[in-house]
Structure formats: C-alpha cells, structure tokens
Structure 1
Amino acid sequence: MRPQSLTPLFAQVTSLPGIGPRLGKLVEKLAGPLVVDLLWHLPFALIDRRNAPEIAGAQAGTVATLTVTVDEHLVPRNPRQPYRVWCSDETGRLCLTFFNGREDYLKKLLPPGEIRVVSGRVDLYQGEVQITHPDHVVPLDQRESILRVEPVYGLTAGLTQRPVQKAIAAGVERAPALPEWQDPAYLARNRWADWKSSLASAHAPAEEQDLAPLHPARARLAFDELLASQLAIALVRHHNRTLSGRATKGDRRLHKVTLEALPFELTASQKGAVEEIATDMAKPERMIRLLQGDVGSGKTLVAFLAMLIAVEAGAQAALMAPTELLARQHYATIAPLAEATGVRLALLTGRDGQKLKKETMRGLADGSIDLVIGTHALVQEEVEFADLALAVVDEQHRFGVHQRMALSSKGQAVDLLVMTATPIPRTLMLAAYGDLDVSKLTEKPAGRLPIDTRTLPLERIGEVVEGVGRMIGTGARVYWVCPLIEESEEVDLANVEERFGLLSTRFPGKVGLLHGRLKGAEREATMAAFAEGRLSILVATTVIEVGVDVPAATVMVIEHAERFGLAQLHQLRGRVGRGAGKSSCLLLYAQPLGETAKARLAIMRETEDGFRIAEEDLRLRGAGELLGTRQSGLPDMRLADLAAHGELLQAARDDARLVIDRDPDLQSERGKALRVLLYLFRRDDAVRTLRAG
C-alpha cells in the first residue's frame, strides 16, 4: 500500500486552486495528471520583478514594476485597434496597451484616479513608455506580492504562467515532510537540505545560478530520482537472482553443424558473445543478459546459436520481436539454418489463421517444436510450452517489463537474453539497466563496405531525383524517407504521400509507399515487391527504421535530416550497406542549419560507429531528449539530466547496491524511508517484488 503521507501528492491536478477541468486537461498534457507530476515540472528561467524604477527611469526591453496613478481610458472605436490606458507618476507618462480589451473588465482593473502597481516588459513606442498586456496589476497594498523573483515554467498551447505558478506553489505547500531516505554522511558531504526544503527551493529560484542542474536543491532532487530508479533495478535483480535457476548446458553438436553451414566465419565479438551466453546459461542462476549490437552486426545469428544450446539440452527457446515485419524477418534469416541443423522451427503472429495457430500451439505444448519466433502473440495465455529454457526479446525497449516477464513466466526459471540494435551510451545503460551483464558486437560482418554519407541542401533535390533515376537504371534499389504522414499546420514537411506522388509521376510503376497507417497485409506486400525488385523505390516514414533487411537496397535518401536524432539517422542508414555492393546515404537538409543540427550531420559523415554516435547524441541532445522518446523503455527522468548528473548516477548505483547487500528487504529505519521514496517515484513494481519476495 502506498504510504498515507503521500496521498496529497497523488491527488488529481484539478484538486489544486485555479485548475478546473479545462486547464486540468492542459496541465495533464504538460506534466501529468497528478499533483506530484506538476511538482517534478521545474522552472527553466526566472523573471526578476524587484526592479521598481520611476517611469522616467524604466528602460526598454527590461521587466519593471511601476507604481502609477490611472489617468484615462482611451476606448477604441474599432475593435481591431488597441485599448489604451494612460497612467503617470511624478516623472512621466506610461501607456498600458491591451488588444481585444473589454471596457467593463479594464475599468474595474484600472479605475481612473486610483493608484495601481503594474509589472511587465517595458517598450518605447513613438517616444512614449509603454507596457503591452502587463503581467500583473494590483492595488498599492498588494505591491509586495509582486516585488519578487518569479519562476518561469515550460507551457503548452492554451496555458499561461499565472495558473501554473499558482498551482505549483499550492502543490509545494501541500507536500508533506517525509522521512529522510538519504545516507546521512552523503547528505552532509553535499550540504543538501531535506526533501521538502529542496523542492521548495527548486521552485523558488532567486538568481540565474539557482537554475543550474548542479545547484544543491536540484542536485538533491535529481539524486532522489536516480536513487529510486537504481534501487528499483537492484531490487528486481536481487529478486531474480534469488529465484532458483536452472543449468542449461549444450553439447555443441547443433552449434557445429550451423557453423559448417554458414558461408562465412563468425566475427570475434560474435564468438565472444556466444561464449558469454553459454557460460551464463550453464550456471544454476537465471541469466539476464543484454546483447548490444550495431545495425548489421549479426545479432540474429548469435541469438540462434544461444537458442540451439536450449535445444541441445532437450528444452525449447522462443524469440519475441516487436512487430510482425521483424518477426518474419528473423524467421527468414533463421529458417535455412534451422533446416540445416534439423531443428523444428515455427512462426507465431497475431495474423496467422486459426488452423495454423492451433497446430503451432499444439507443437509448443507437446515439445515437437523446438524453436518459435513470434510477436506479442507468444505471451497470450493459451500459449504453453513443454519446456521453455531461453527467451530472447528483440528491440526490448519496445516492450514493457510485463511482456518480458510474461514470456519468462512460460517456463521454469527461464534464461532471458534481450537484444537491441540501439547502441546505448554507458550512462544510459546504467540508468536503464543498472549493471546488467552486457555482450557487445562491435564489428560488422566480413565483406561489408563502408557507406558513403553525404549532406545536401533541399534546394538540390532535383539533382538527387536525377541521380536516383541513374541508380535504378543500373538495378539499384532506393529508400526515400520522409518525416511525416500527412500535412500538419505546425510542420509543413515534405509529406510522404506527396513525395510518393511526385516520384511515381517521374518513375511510373517503380515506386512503393510504406507508412504506419497501412494495414499489415499492404505493408508486407509492398515490402515483398521491393525486396524482390518489382519496385525500385520505397517512399517511407520511419517505420523502416528497425530491422528491414533488403541486401539489394544500396541508396538511402533522408529528407529533412536535420529533424531526426542521431541515433535515428544511424538506424535508418543501417538499412543500406547490407549486401556486397557499395552503398550511399544522402542527408537532405533545410537551410539555415542550427549548431546542433550541423554537429549532428557532421558526425554522420565522419563515423559509422554506433557506440560513438550514441555518446555524441547524449552530449548534443542531453539525456532528456534521448529518454524523452517515450518508447525507448528507458526510465522517464524528470529531474535528473544524465549529461549533467553522471556522477550522481554512479553514486546512486553504488548506494543502491550497498542497501541491497545490507538490507535486501528494506526493513531498517532507512529501508522504510526508501520504500516511501520508491512509491514517490512510482517504482511500485520494485515494492511488489519485495512483497512477493
């Protein structure tokens, strides 16, 4: 049960003053549905309203708080003209300007002849001092309430600063005093205040430096978040380690047959990864290993060799992929190898016919099928295995923890191998997986040539189309990636359908279209036509980012490359250069390019090393963005910035390990406070493993 003390923080945001149902929806879009979500929404700037000059001393471009007498209202005859209110003090005149101003409202706010305190950005208009739409207008006795430093929050369309500031201030006020979960020595060494004071201070910056990520209040909150995350990972791992495992040992006979059937040698890192997996599987504890390999580094083959160990030991193995496209592709890669080794392989997806599905399920239940490749269909309740020993999860960041666990629960102490083609920087590895055992595939398979990457401004798109025409004349196949499916008012990007239309006119009958809104069957038919060479150009959105494998495709054109993150550009580029031919990647960008976009495109030209690209991506975008991609499965950090808080992350990891060594059930005084911390950051999963113990 969540501790009673946290109840005020887990109330709906609409329970805060000034946030009704309409604003509630906007606040939810901005930060989340609960009070605690709003508390994690820290200010990114400040406005200093302590500057209180007389009118003559007010400087254009600054924010000033002025005490004035209201002189007269100039009500416009035409509603398109601004409504002006003239005010003065002993040193001069001030014009307050309102667009679409309502007379009754403004006369009540600024009664002629009375003194008012107004605050806002000062402009000079035709020599007169003016404030357009002042931020604050209050009677003289409320002057002190304005003369302060105001936090500035990120907003979403339809929200203004005032209600957000007011709601957050009320939320901070409601925040309870909580037991101290930090290690006292570490707290003292960093000179950090308690949780509630740090929260209040982070929302009340007085100087620019109070907004820095390493300011004591912000660093303390970031460490709390990192500690909750690391402790949750450590608890789940401790729980998994203490469950009895099974030793799965193979005799390498199938392994040998496979290697003889391959037309090439394994790379050194593939051999190393297979050995690490085999060693883990042979131990009595459960294996949880991450196989990290760049695009085209041969992860599927390593997974197949790992799956064979289970078969050699008389058990079964399953590989789960996030999309049907990927599942079918793994199947196409593995089927010939399974045939050569005499292993029975099946495919299970949501779109299989009932008859085929039943047959496959019968084979899995009676053990006549050794290996299965599938989508989420594998974790349905009716799917049963005779003896599942190894579960392989591909592109695991696309699955929730529950789906991974659901597959593992289909057998006794199932070993887990998770694969990702997204190279993850070391800091993020720690943040997402604690210290998960990792095997890395660092080389490309033999015979792969480097990809020639070039950047061109969009104005030269005509030349690119001509070049593409020449390439397809020689039998080449081309991917053409556009960033959006349909016109949106905000982003007038090359619409994928429009680009498809234009290229189809130029190359009739040669162009296919692929995007996420197409039905599965249409997508597969288009992919098949492209793979078989009936289509020469595939115009697509980023649905082709992961796992599409057409060795004959040698050209990748990416429009508006400046809009993509580095990791995504790298993934897309990895769709070419998979055969023996020379491949090229053209990155088309809109001018002018910002500094970050420039740096990003330069790195793409310089290197194909996914691990270096991932580190650069973290440096350029900061972890917020890398983690912000919701589907990344990486923890959603609201307070910690991994680019700035790397050292805190290391400390949080060490602290979490120490806690688990000394107090794995969190029963000590500090342990109980740490339970509150886990609930505060919604790491309820970890608390549940404690209870399931």
Structure 2
Amino acid sequence: MLLQLSEIPLTTLSGIGKKTAQKFAKIRINSVQDLLFHLPFRYEDHTHIYPINELYVGLYATLQGRVIDINTTSRKRKMLIVQISDGNSAIMLRFLNFTTTLKKNFSKGKLVRAYGKIQRSCVGLEILHPDYEFLTSKQRLNDIKKNLTPIYPTTSGLKQITLRNSTSQALLLLKKSEIQELLPSGMYAQQMTINQALHIIHRPPSNLNLDLFNKHKHPAQIRLIIEELLAQNLSTLLIRKKKQKELANPLPKTSTLKQKLLKLLPFELTNAQKRVVKEIETDLVKTKPMMRLVQGDVGSGKTLVAALSAIRAIEHNYQVALMAPTELLAEQHMLNFSGWFKKIGLQVSLLVGRLKDKEKKKQLARIATGEIHMIIGTHALFQKHVKFHNLALVVIDEQHRFGVHQRLNFCNKGLKQQIYPHQLTMTATPIPRTLAMTTYADLETSTINELPPGRTEIQTVVISDKKRDDIIERVHNACLNEGKQAYWVCPLIENKSEISEIQSVTNISEKLKRKLPNLKIGLIYGRMQASEKQRIMRKFQENELNLLVATTVIEVGVDIPNASLMIIENSERLGLTQLHQLRGRIGRGSVKSYCILLYHSPLYKIAQKRLSIIRQNNDGFIIAQKDLEIRGPGEFLGTKQTGLVDFKIVNLIRDQDLIPEVQRIARYMYKNRPQNITAIIDRWIGNRNIYSKV
C-alpha cells in the first residue's frame, strides 16, 4: 500500500522535533506533502568553484580559500572583515553587526567555502554577508554540490539548511510513494507528471539553465504553476456554477421613482453610467441572482449607479443593504443616499458598531418589519441579530477589502426560502485583467470608464519636505488671493499608537494655523465623533474653511468642486492606489487642480518608482496595474481579507499568459474529470478553500 504523504507528520523526519515543527507550522507546513509543496522562489549555483582571480562585480559565485587575515572595525558601524586566499588571489568577506561567536569561528588557516554577490569596495572585491561553510581538507574537492541550491520562503528561526535537509528526506519518501496525479496527460505541450516536476523543482541538476529556472519558465515549474492556477480557477468556477442553480426574485422594469430621482439631479448621467445601469437592470429581471462588479475611477459616479439599482428593488417592495468597510465610508454613503432618497419618500437607516444600544434596537426593529427601505452599514450588517424583512439586493462597496467568504456570508443574510438576494459590488480600485480572470472570476464586470464632463486633469508634483515653507506660501496664495480651497493630508504611520497619530496631525494643524493666521483651518481625523466630522466637512463644503488638515479619512468624501489643491505629507509611505484615491478628492470642478507630494529623505528606489508613476499618470486603471506589479496580489488586495492570493508558485503578472490555457483546462476538468476537482483545490488552497462555505 502506497504511503499517503499528506498523512505523514513532519516530526517523522530526522531533525524535526516539536519546536522545529511549530516553526514549520507558522508557514502552513504540517505534513510531508505540505513540505513538498513548499516551493523555492529562486536558486543559486553552488556547483562550480570560481578561482578568485576570475571573479567580477555582479557575479553570484561560489569560491573557497583559507583565512589569511581577520579584522574588526567600529567606525560608523560594527564590522568583521575576513580575508581569504585560494593561493593566487584574495577577497574579503564582510559581516555587519557580527557576534563574538562568528568572529571566533573564523581563525587563520581555516578552509572556507563562501557564496554571494561579488561587489567592489574601496580596497578590492568583497562579498557582503556571504553564505559560508568550513571544510576539512578531504572536502576541498570532493564535496562540490551536484544540484542547484534552492532558496525557500521561510520564517524566523527556520534556516535554509533545515528546509533543504527536510526536503531531501521528503523526496526520498516521494520515491517510495507517489503524489496522486490529478491532471490528465496531454492537457498542454511539454506536460510532465506532478512527481517529476517536484523532484526537478526541489533538486534541479546543474546542467539546467539557471536563468530559465529563476524566471520560472522551466517545464517543471510550468506544470505546478498551471495546477495552482487551475485550483484557483476551479474554485471560482464552482461558485459560478452553484450560483446558476440558485434562485432570486426577478425585478421587472419600473420607472416612477427612477425618473423622480433623475429629475432631481443637477446633471445628466454619463454614457458610461447609462450603459452600466442598463447592464445591471438586465441582470435584475432574471430569476438567477446577479453577481456583478462595478469598477470605476475615483469620481466616476458609482454611488449614483448603485442608488438607481436600489430603487428598482425598493419599487418592488423589497429592501436593499449596502455594506462599506469602514464606518466613515458608511456615514458618507448615508449622507448621499438619504439626501437623494428622502426627497422621493424612501427611508434610509445607518447601522454601525458605535451606535448606542437603544438606538441600535430601534433600528433593528424597523429593519425587521420592513419599515426601512435602505440599510447602510459595516460588517455589523451580517451579525446574527440583524434580521431583514425581505432583502432583495446587497451592495458591497470597496469590495477588494472583503473576501469571497464575507461577500457570500453577507448575501446569505438575505436567503429566504431558498431565494437569494442579487449582489452588486463596487470598487474605485480598478481590478487589473489578471485578477479579474482569477480572483474575481465569479463576478461579471461592468466598467465606468468615463468621468463627468467639465473635470480637469490634476497636475501632480513631487517635492522634498525641505521646501515646506514654499508650499505653505503657495497654499496662502491659492486660498487667500485666488479664493480656492485646499487639503493638507497627514497619512497614518505604521507602528505608531493612535494617540500619537492624533497628536501628530493636531501639531501640524497648529503649526499651519501659526504660519497662516489669515486662513480658516479645520481639522478632521478618524476617531472624531461622527457628528463632529460631518460638521467640519459641511463647513468645508460650504466654503467656510479655506484649508482642511486631515488624515487619510478623506480618501472617501463629498464632492467639493472648489477644492483644487492637495498636499500629502510623507507620500513615500503610501501605496499607488491610496495616493490616487486621495488625489481624487480634488479636480472635481472646472478649475485646474494640483497635488503636491511631499517626501522625506532619503527616498528609496521603490518609493521613487511609486511617486514617479503617480506623477505621470491620472488613469486609475494604469495605476492599479502598476500597483499590482510592484506589490503583488497579496498586498494589493490584502491577503488576510481575501485568503485567496497567497500563491505558492504563481505570480499573476509573470504567469498571466497561461491564464487562457488554464481556463480551457478548467472547463475540460469540470466536464470530464469532476471527481478530481475537490482534490486539486484541497492540494493548493487547503483550508482556505473558497467554495467550502458557499
């Protein structure tokens, strides 16, 4: 009987005790099969020993020699410098902030083998923090590695040597057993078995092309990339197929309330808004629940599209619920929807965590009886004590902050006699094509790719905070002499307490008041009372304030056409998408608008790249794609919230050309090998399985 590698615990391997097993568990490795699917992210070539006189700057190389000199220095920072020679030439190994033990390990005459990137110092070639090992004379020539050396993702206290030794034992067990082959042969060109692929990926022979391997283009890597993408695709395909079997209340065309609202608006819908409303209305007349994502740039009018969709459900005597990720955004939606709906006789309610018990009970009772037509809230909406009377449409704003589980749980709140509500999700963070085809493949997509007429392009400039006084003078001229309004944004800084953040933004506000005594300056931050925030925002909207100092809470807010200048402090700390969202608060009128990104030196390369992109682009779709490329899907979406994009080997940017092929294989598997689908999903997604709670 073959061994089931998924059932063999790690502690059966030599060198893995209880404490080491706990470290492995931190990176979700609990069995031998888990270990085999913990894949290297790059490789090093330790199979060739370079003579020191053949080394050059930029080369990653293995070399060996005897220690001929040891020095320490502590001028600017503590350093250990070890000089080794192979008999013809010498090179330095440099260690920063070394320990006493490390220094003792290096003694003159010891034989050392080292690997690292060759770089130039003021006195010659060196390797900074090399990988190294001490050799005996017998090992000098006989112990050269025959395979490329894999480098694995790891965690604190778990060394590469432990990962490699454990994987070697797992590969021996794999030879005695086999991992089940779930992908039929002949699905694509150069296909190999899962077992062949795992052996090559963990121990690639030295004659393989290292550059090809590090680019993840070898057939062994392609085999695993395709199966992992397949697992993702099949899981969303299951959601789509299940949804097709579900029933929803059809919402036929109505026009009375919709026309009333449209007549109240001081503007016409854009062509893009009209097209998206039509796409939604086409879905709503069906007996299958709508699953549609509306994406549009900042200021494109998604909220109004949601309001027109909500009216359709309300006219048929159903309820609508809108869920936002933060209380501030929920409060802002409450202002917008109540402003529109109260004029046409509809009741809107806000349900958030900070409501007092008495008020909350009152709202819950009105929701349960159906007195409230539109309910707006946060995660509080899918708590057990929230009972809807007849929910027919759920709207989820900033959907990238919610995972599939949360979206589906919210929809299930409206489940009544096996009738599901329709679902409309919205985002101002455009979803790049690769994510739309994978992570959000369970949704139909509508795009509002047009801004309302009269908007002017925002000019963005990047300036050192050393020129702060010049910027303050510019704010003075814009507000006092030109009659414009401005935002001064102070981003929250990670690892700082909430109190210190409030103190920080308050200090900046006070400094600006001293330097700009003739301006009326307001202050707003997240933990203010909702009524106080609304009062300040209303004063700014009515031009009673010249300058608003704020944290990033104004990432979502009201339209203020006269606000045409924004200064963002510490802009190097923010991601592209958030910078673009903040910038979207200005440029809402016909006046030329300017966004000034203040940065604090030194400005690192990755921050330089981000600020350069945001300076050169105003298109949210281009910015979202660049943000995905820089941060990867996990950070872009927030892996903790989605639980979907923590891939083992897939890189959606690098591997996007494989997606159409994977979609073809997924359709084949669903039709011809349905018995393999659950096993494929479990192998790659495990207990993060997105269909398990559908």
Select 2:622's aligned residue among 612, 626, 638. Answer: 612
Against the structure 1 CA distance between its residues 216 and 261, is the aligned structure 2 distance closer, same or farther, given a 3 Å change threshold? same
Give the Cα separation in 2 of the matches to 1:129 and 1:592: 26
Give the Cα separation in 1 of the matches to 2:605 and 2:453: 36
Is the contact made by 2:639 and 2:645 (CA closer than 8 Å) also made in structure 1?
Answer: no
Deviations 1:87-127 (A, max 9, x none): 88876899989854449964xx97x99x8563346899989
Other-structure match for 2:191 = 192
Whether 1:478 and 2:481 are equivalent positions in the alignment is no
Select 1:568's aligned residue among 578, 587, 606. Answer: 578
Q: Say which is worse superposed, 412-421 or 520-529, in terms of deviation.
A: 520-529
Give the Cα separation in 1 of the matches to 2:671 and 2:692: 19
Against the structure 1 CA distance between its residues 236 and 127, is the aligned structure 2 distance closer, same or farther, given a 3 Å change threshold? closer
Other-structure match for 2:647 = 637
Is the contact made by 2:225 and 2:649 (CA closer than 8 Å) also made in structure 1?
Answer: yes
Deviations 1:572-606 (A, max 9, x none): 21111234544221233467877776665555445
TM-score under structure 2 length normalisation: 0.81
Is the contact made by 1:286 and 1:415 (CA closer than 8 Å) also made in structure 2?
Answer: yes
Give the Cα separation in 2 of the matches to 1:299 and 1:40: 41
Other-structure match for 2:408 = 405
Amino acid in the other structure paired with 1:275:
K
Deviations 1:39-90 (A, max 9, x none): 545233414352164x88888987444366x89x989999x99999998887
List alignment gaps of at least 5 residues for structure 2.
Answer: none
Whether 1:451 and 2:461 are equivalent positions in the alignment is no
Residue aligned with 2:439, SS: helix
Residue aligned with 1:48, SS: coil
The within-5 A match list for 1:12-161 is: 17=15, 21=19, 31=27, 36=34, 39-40=37-38, 42-51=40-49, 53=51, 63-66=61-64, 100-102=99-101, 106=105, 116=111, 118-120=113-115, 135-142=132-139, 144-148=142-146, 149-153=148-152, 161=160
User: 1:372, CA displacement in angstroms?
Assistant: 1.3
Is the contact made by 1:85 and 1:96 (CA closer than 8 Å) also made in structure 2?
Answer: yes
User: 1:561, CA displacement in angstroms?
Assistant: 3.8
User: 1:232, CA displacement in angstroms?
Assistant: 0.4
Residue aligned with 2:150, SS: strand
Is the contact made by 2:35 and 2:170 (CA closer than 8 Å) also made in structure 1?
Answer: no
Deviations 1:471-518 (A, max 9, x none): 232553322334443788xxxx99756644543442369555555677
Give the Cα separation in 2 of the matches to 1:74 and 1:378: 66
Residue aligned with 1:431, SS: coil
Give the Cα separation in 2 of the matches to 1:495 and 1:626: 27
Whether 1:236 and 2:239 are equivalent positions in the alignment is yes
Whether 1:269 and 2:276 are equivalent positions in the alignment is no
List alignment gaps of at least 5 residues for structure 1.
Answer: none
Select 2:281's aligned residue among 278, 282, 285. Answer: 278
Other-structure match for 1:391 = 394
Against the structure 1 CA distance between its residues 541 and 135, is the aligned structure 2 distance closer, same or farther, given a 3 Å change threshold? farther
Give the Cα separation in 2 of the matches to 1:522 and 1:169: 62
Residue aligned with 1:289, SS: strand
Give the Cα separation in 2 of the matches to 1:82 and 1:311: 71
User: 1:470, CA displacement in angstroms?
Assistant: 1.9
Amino acid in the other structure paired with 1:568:
Q
Give the Cα separation in 2 of the matches to 1:28 and 1:266: 53
Whether 1:467 and 2:463 are equivalent positions in the alignment is no
The within-5 A match list for 1:381-530 is: 381-411=384-414, 412-434=419-441, 436-473=443-480, 474-485=482-493, 499-500=508-509, 502-507=511-516, 510-511=520-521, 527=537, 530=540
Is the contact made by 1:231 and 1:656 (CA closer than 8 Å) also made in structure 2?
Answer: yes
User: 1:638, CA displacement in angstroms?
Assistant: 3.7
Select 1:249's aligned residue among 249, 252, 255. Answer: 252
Residue aligned with 2:470, SS: helix
Give the Cα separation in 2 of the matches to 1:240 and 1:436: 10
Whether 1:6 and 2:6 are equivalent positions in the alignment is yes
Give the Cα separation in 2 of the matches to 1:46 and 1:147: 11
Q: Say which is worse superposed, 560-569 or 305-314, in terms of deviation.
A: 560-569
Give the Cα separation in 2 of the matches to 1:607 and 1:77: 47
Overall identity of the aligned pairs, in %: 36
User: 1:522, CA displacement in angstroms?
Assistant: 7.0
Select 2:682's aligned residue among 678, 681, 692. Answer: 678
The within-5 A match list for 1:186-335 is: 186-187=187-188, 189=189, 191-205=190-204, 206=206, 207-335=210-338
Is the contact made by 2:633 and 2:645 (CA closer than 8 Å) also made in structure 1?
Answer: no
TM-score under structure 1 length normalisation: 0.81
Against the structure 1 CA distance between its residues 43 and 128, is the aligned structure 2 distance closer, same or farther, given a 3 Å change threshold? closer
User: 1:685, CA displacement in angstroms?
Assistant: 3.8
Give the Cα separation in 2 of the matches to 1:37 and 1:532: 61
User: 1:451, CA displacement in angstroms?
Assistant: 2.2
Q: Say which is worse superposed, 503-512 or 260-269, in terms of deviation.
A: 503-512
Is the contact made by 2:319 and 2:393 (CA closer than 8 Å) also made in structure 1?
Answer: yes
Is the contact made by 2:401 and 2:638 (CA closer than 8 Å) also made in structure 1?
Answer: no
Is the contact made by 1:117 and 1:140 (CA closer than 8 Å) also made in structure 2?
Answer: no
Is the contact made by 1:120 and 1:136 (CA closer than 8 Å) also made in structure 2?
Answer: no
Against the structure 1 CA distance between its residues 548 and 8, is the aligned structure 2 distance closer, same or farther, given a 3 Å change threshold? farther
Residue aligned with 1:217, SS: helix
Give the Cα separation in 1 of the matches to 2:691 and 2:478: 58
Is the contact made by 1:627 and 1:637 (CA closer than 8 Å) also made in structure 2?
Answer: no
Other-structure match for 1:657 = 667
Other-structure match for 1:688 = 692
Is the contact made by 1:45 and 1:151 (CA closer than 8 Å) also made in structure 2?
Answer: yes
User: 1:355, CA displacement in angstroms?
Assistant: 2.6
Give the Cα separation in 1 of the matches to 2:435 and 2:666: 17
Is the contact made by 1:485 and 1:541 (CA closer than 8 Å) also made in structure 2?
Answer: no
Give the Cα separation in 1 of the matches to 2:410 and 2:687: 21
Deviations 1:361-402 (A, max 9, x none): 122211122111111221111111221111111111212333
Give the Cα separation in 1 of the matches to 2:366 and 2:150: 63
Deviations 1:276-334 (A, max 9, x none): 11111111111111111211111111111111111111211111111111111111111
Give the Cα separation in 1 of the matches to 2:372 and 2:72: 82
Q: Say which is worse superposed, 535-544 or 401-410, in terms of deviation.
A: 535-544
User: 1:247, CA displacement in angstroms?
Assistant: 1.4
Is the contact made by 1:39 and 1:172 (CA closer than 8 Å) also made in structure 2?
Answer: no
Give the Cα separation in 2 of the matches to 1:335 and 1:378: 18
Against the structure 1 CA distance between its residues 359 and 623, is the aligned structure 2 distance closer, same or farther, given a 3 Å change threshold? closer
Residue aligned with 1:274, SS: helix
Report the number of matched residues. 665
Deviations 1:110-167 (A, max 9, x none): 7x99x85633468999899999877101334555445354334566777764445445
Is the contact made by 2:391 and 2:421 (CA closer than 8 Å) also made in structure 1?
Answer: yes
User: 1:409, CA displacement in angstroms?
Assistant: 1.7
The within-5 A match list for 1:158-173 is: 161-166=160-165, 169=168
Give the Cα separation in 2 of the matches to 1:468 and 1:608: 22
Against the structure 1 CA distance between its residues 652 and 521, is the aligned structure 2 distance closer, same or farther, given a 3 Å change threshold? farther
Amino acid in the other structure paired with 2:651:
D
Is the contact made by 1:434 and 1:653 (CA closer than 8 Å) also made in structure 2?
Answer: no
Deviations 1:389-439 (A, max 9, x none): 111111112123333223212223111111111111212211221162112
Give the Cα separation in 2 of the matches to 1:299 and 1:430: 22
Residue aligned with 1:432, SS: coil
Give the Cα separation in 1 of the matches to 2:50 and 2:404: 55
Residue aligned with 1:260, SS: helix
Q: Say which is worse superposed, 196-205 or 160-169, in terms of deviation.
A: 160-169
Against the structure 1 CA distance between its residues 396 and 104, is the aligned structure 2 distance closer, same or farther, given a 3 Å change threshold? closer
